[in-house]
């Protein structure tokens, strides 16, 4: 047998090595373990006696198999999927009592860069029945979170993180998974690219993919390669540096070539882009402008005329991009030549772009204000680079793929996923200024063979109304977010287009992607026996956490920590968690603790395989008679009871109002025609009771209106709904 290769620890980052005891037996449960990982782990544990735990019939890498067959290697075999843990306890317990470290060897798994583990939860739960101390170990390989724009970030072997030992009585599946996700967060936080300036990352991407990838403006069919985007944005950035001394620059543009160039130029100028929500009310816009302290607004002549409701500042503060750029033709040509012949580092030096960004502000976005005044969310360079790596590493798109960008640039998904990611990840971008014109969007998807479509349930309903099945044939992945995906919409979409809708989740404060469901991975080979098949999506969930994001669950009111498998308040910690609310330390402290944990305001739980289920936003719960009632669950029941499953627009909404007897009472808003409201709500009550709904969960009053208020992002406009309900009740 040939000698084993020598594996160096030089490029391996070790975290929590002090948690690995120098004596005493324990069960070491890794998130994954390749042959190279195993050799490194053996070096880390030099001096410890090791026993390997494998499953009979499990598919192991040939090198791992050969390693186990050596005379000096001790191995135990267990029967997979056994319901009786006595054999496991006897075998593992005997080894640990002798002071040995028992290392479980996971079988080869088909998985798309799982942020949790390549071992199914049911199997982990069985292993934890060994009733011995357990050491969680998270293994992050650099190739899984590589950033292609700079190869030096791929040079390291990866990270191996050791968690605190779980005592036998503490070693539950929930505790193990929570520990593993915390280790994943610590491992990801060491990624060298997280210190990069977003502007420098964009420069690298535009230069690297400049001759291959492009942006296509679906409004007029104009196409522009990324190298030309870099040249124009470079010229515009120099102008912006001279034009204003303010830290931030406002941008009032829809998705398109102009919006992309404006955002890149502002960043190359060393300033912070503020994409303003031109669909918001005047008070909200005025608040955002004042809070941002901006005195220059990049926009377009045609847009100024179109968005007349926008509180436009004096014309001297407007930078009309379509007037300015033709005057810069000579400078653009010069930057085009320079960008071709000079390395990125020298270009950055000429432009005054720092290579380091870290925790400094890179982007300011305002929340939708769906349940209050919009807040200025400060996202750092680290936040945005992290999120691009996090979801980009799970999508697995190639240079030939295209993304549809139609969500507003003031929307967090529209900004990160359809501005920064295409450039840094090297994929094509097809834009259109409105997500509502689904017939036109369908034509663009078909014409340009779009691969990835980001939408909301509200916008998906539009596709169901006016787009042919053939138009979406090229779609590899359709991801929806912003609001809960109704089962009826998902099923109707799959029936019509033959495409499954994958629900994701995120908030402006998480940069924004925190979770995503994905298509299941391709089989590892023709023979599946012995392999582990892990799902990448689960119906009703919003998917697993992105790599490097930890989660904890607490009681919604007391904030006492609970097992992550129980329902409670969701908290996140990771490199993509925002820095804070601009100029509002109190609101920041209300949602973000000293250790960096962010309270999302949403209620949910994690299942045995790490999939997160959102049960509702705390602001969309009512406490009735001491019981927490989720509005969205009530809405789902109402849709079925009222026969609205096939409706392509939102027809109902439930809100809670103060009630003297029960604390709160539910009010149903409906855009459906009908007879007397009191009789209809009575009939509805009987139907819901027959379906087993608790009486406290049934709305007491119904209010009819022309349409349910919806925000431009596709979310329910909770604030407007509550105002309508209050005025209707009074």
Dist. CA 426–CA 441, nearest whole Å: 22
Choose among 288, 283, 198: nearest CA to 252. 288
The crossing angle, in degrees rounded to 10, of helices 487-497 and 457-466 is 40
Q: For position 2, what pLDDT does the model report?
A: 46
Q: Which element (helix H / strand E) includes 463? A: helix 457-466
DSSP 633-658: HHHHHHHHHTT-TT-SS--EEEEEEE
Q: Which two tokens stand for residue 396?
A: 């697995």
The crossing angle, in degrees rounded to 10, of helices 226-243 and 257-268 is 60
Residue with tokens 């009871």: 641
- For β-strands 477-480 and 12-15, DSSP reports them as unpaired
Residue with tokens 């544990």: 45
pTM of the predicted structure, to 2 decimals: 0.87
* Burial class, 422, CB count within 10 angstroms (exposed 0-12 / middle 13-18 / buried 19+): buried
- For β-strands 26-30 and 134-141, DSSP reports them as parallel
* Burial class, 324, CB count within 10 angstroms (exposed 0-12 / middle 13-18 / buried 19+): middle
Q: DSSP H helical segments within 98-197, as ranges?
A: 121-127, 173-188
Q: For position 466, what pLDDT does the model report?
A: 81
Strand 652-659: give its sheet, edge to edge. Answer: 652-659, 663-670, 701-704
Identify whether the C-beta of residue 338 lies closer than 8 Å to the C-beta of residue 254.
Answer: no
The crossing angle, in degrees rounded to 10, of helices 329-341 and 226-243 is 120
Dist. CA 486–CA 186, nearest whole Å: 35
Q: Which two tokens stand for residue 9?
A: 């620890």
Q: Which element (helix H / strand E) includes 502? A: strand 501-506
In three-state secondary structure terms, 630 is: strand
Choose among 86, 129, 83, 72: nearest CA to 104. 129
Show Cβ contacts of residue 488 under 8 Å, excluding neighbours closer than 6 positions.
639, 644, 645, 646
φ/ψ of 28, rounded to 5, equals -100, 115
Q: For the CA atoms of the chain, what is the radius of gyration?
A: 27
Dist. CA 190–CA 201, nearest whole Å: 17
CA-to-CA dists, residue 225 to 202, 427, 476, 637, 651, angstroms: 14, 11, 23, 49, 43
Dist. CA 9–CA 39, nearest whole Å: 10
Identify whether the C-beta of residue 705 lies closer than 8 Å to the C-beta of residue 724.
Answer: yes
Residues 640, 644, 646, 652, CA torsion sign: negative
Choose among 545, 607, 605, 552: nearest CA to 576. 545
- Residue count (the chain): 730
Dist. CA 424–CA 704, nearest whole Å: 48
* Burial class, 276, CB count within 10 angstroms (exposed 0-12 / middle 13-18 / buried 19+): buried
Dist. CA 9–CA 41, nearest whole Å: 9
DSSP code of residue 165: P
Q: For position 569, what pLDDT does the model report?
A: 93
φ/ψ of 580, rounded to 5, equals 155, 175
Question: What are the residue ranges in the chain where pLDDT is below 70?
Answer: 1-8, 80-83, 110-115, 151-156, 368-372, 522-531, 618-619, 625-626, 648, 675-678, 712-714, 729-730
Identify whether the C-beta of residue 488 lies closer than 8 Å to the C-beta of residue 639.
Answer: yes
Q: For position 339, what pLDDT does the model report?
A: 94
Q: Which two tokens stand for residue 36?
A: 């190279």
Identify whether the C-beta of residue 247 lies closer than 8 Å to the C-beta of residue 294.
Answer: no
Q: For position 610, what pLDDT does the model report?
A: 94
In three-state secondary structure terms, 172 is: coil
Dist. CA 584–CA 567, nearest whole Å: 30
3-state secondary structure 239-293: HHHHHCCCCEEEECCCCCHHHHHHHHHHHHCCCEEEECCCCCCHHHHHHHHHHHC
With vertex at residue 214, the alpha carbon angle to CA 464 and CA 195, rounded to the nearest 5 degrees, is: 100
């Amino acid at each position: 047998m040939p000698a084993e290769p020598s594996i160096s620890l030089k490029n391996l980052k070790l975290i929590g090595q002090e948690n690995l005891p120098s004596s005493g037996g324990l069960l070491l449960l890794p998130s994954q373990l390749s042959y190279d990982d195993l050799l490194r782990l053996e070096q880390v544990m030099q001096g410890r006696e090791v026993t390997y735990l494998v499953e009979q019939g499990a598919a192991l890498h040939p090198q791992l198999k050969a390693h186990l067959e050596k005379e000096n290697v001790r191995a135990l075999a267990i029967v997979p999927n056994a319901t009786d843990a006595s054999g496991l306890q006897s075998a593992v317990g005997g080894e640990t009592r002798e002071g040995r470290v028992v290392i479980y060897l996971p079988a080869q798994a088909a998985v798309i860069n799982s942020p949790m583990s390549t071992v199914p939860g049911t199997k982990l739960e069985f292993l934890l029945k060994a009733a011995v101390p357990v050491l969680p170990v998270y293994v992050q390989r650099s190739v899984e979170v590589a950033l292609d724009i700079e190869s030096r970030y791929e040079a390291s072997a990866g990270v191996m993180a050791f968690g605190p030992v779980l005592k036998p009585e503490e070693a539950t599946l929930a505790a193990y998974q929570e520990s593993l996700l915390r280790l994943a967060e610590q491992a990801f936080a060491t990624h060298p690219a997280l210190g990069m300036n977003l502007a420098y990352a964009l420069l690298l991407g535009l230069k690297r993919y400049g001759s291959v990838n492009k942006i296509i403006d679906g409004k007029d069919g104009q196409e522009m390669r990324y190298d030309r985007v870099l040249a124009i944005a470079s010229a515009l950035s120099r102008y912006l540096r001279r034009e204003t001394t303010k830290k931030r620059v406002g941008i009032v543009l829809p998705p398109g070539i102009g919006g992309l160039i404006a955002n890149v130029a502002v960043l190359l100028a060393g300033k912070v882009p503020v994409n303003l929500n031109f669909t918001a009310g005047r008070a909200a816009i005025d608040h955002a402008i004042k809070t941002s302290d901006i005195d220059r607004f990049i926009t377009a002549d045609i847009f100024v005329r179109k968005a007349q409701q926008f509180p436009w500042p004096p014309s001297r503060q407007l930078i009309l991009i379509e007037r300015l750029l033709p005057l810069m033709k000579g400078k653009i040509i010069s930057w085009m030549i320079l960008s071709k012949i000079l390395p990125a580092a020298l270009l950055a030096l000429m432009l005054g772009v720092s290579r380091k960004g870290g925790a400094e502000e890179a982007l300011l976005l305002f929340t939708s204000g769906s349940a209050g005044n919009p807040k200025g969310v400060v996202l750092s360079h680290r936040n945005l680079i992290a999120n691009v790596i996090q979801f980009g590493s799970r999508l697995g798109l190639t240079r030939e793929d295209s993304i549809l960008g139609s969500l507003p640039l003031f929307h967090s998904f529209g900004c990160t996923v359809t501005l920064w990611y295409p450039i840094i990840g090297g994929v094509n971008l097809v834009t259109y200024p409105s997500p509502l014109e689904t017939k036109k969007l369908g034509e663009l998807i078909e014409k340009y063979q779009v691969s990835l479509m980001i939408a909301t349930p509200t916008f998906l309903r539009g596709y169901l109304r006016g787009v042919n099945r053939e138009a979406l044939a090229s779609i590899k992945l359709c991801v929806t977010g912003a609001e809960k995906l109704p089962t009826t919409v998902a099923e109707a979409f799959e029936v019509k287009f033959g495409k499954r809708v994958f629900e994701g989740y995120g908030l402006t404060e998480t940069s924004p992607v925190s979770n995503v469901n994905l298509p299941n991975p391709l089989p590892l080979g023709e023979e599946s026996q012995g392999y582990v098949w892990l799902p990448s999506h689960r119906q009703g969930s919003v998917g697993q956490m992105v790599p490097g994001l930890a989660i904890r669950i607490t009681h919604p009111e007391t904030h006492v920590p609970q097992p992550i498998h129980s329902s409670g308040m969701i908290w996140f910690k990771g490199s993509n968690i925002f820095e804070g609310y601009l100029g509002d330390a109190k609101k920041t402290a209300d949602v973000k603790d000293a250790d960096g944990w962010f309270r999302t305001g949403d209620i949910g739980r994690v299942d045995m395989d790490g999939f997160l289920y959102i049960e509702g936003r705390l602001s969309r719960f009512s406490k009735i008679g001491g019981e927490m009632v989720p509005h969205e669950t009530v809405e789902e029941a109402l849709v079925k009871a009222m026969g609205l499953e096939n409706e392509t627009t939102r027809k109902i909404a439930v809100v809670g109002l103060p009630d003297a007897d029960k604390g709160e009472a539910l009010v149903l808003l409906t855009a459906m025609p009908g007879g007397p409201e009191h009789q209809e709500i009575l009939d509805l009550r009987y139907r819901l009771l027959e379906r087993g709904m608790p009486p406290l969960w049934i709305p007491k009053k119904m209010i009819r209106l022309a349409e349910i208020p919806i925000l431009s992002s596709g979310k329910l406009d909770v604030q407007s709904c509550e105002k309508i309900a209050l005025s209707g009740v009074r």
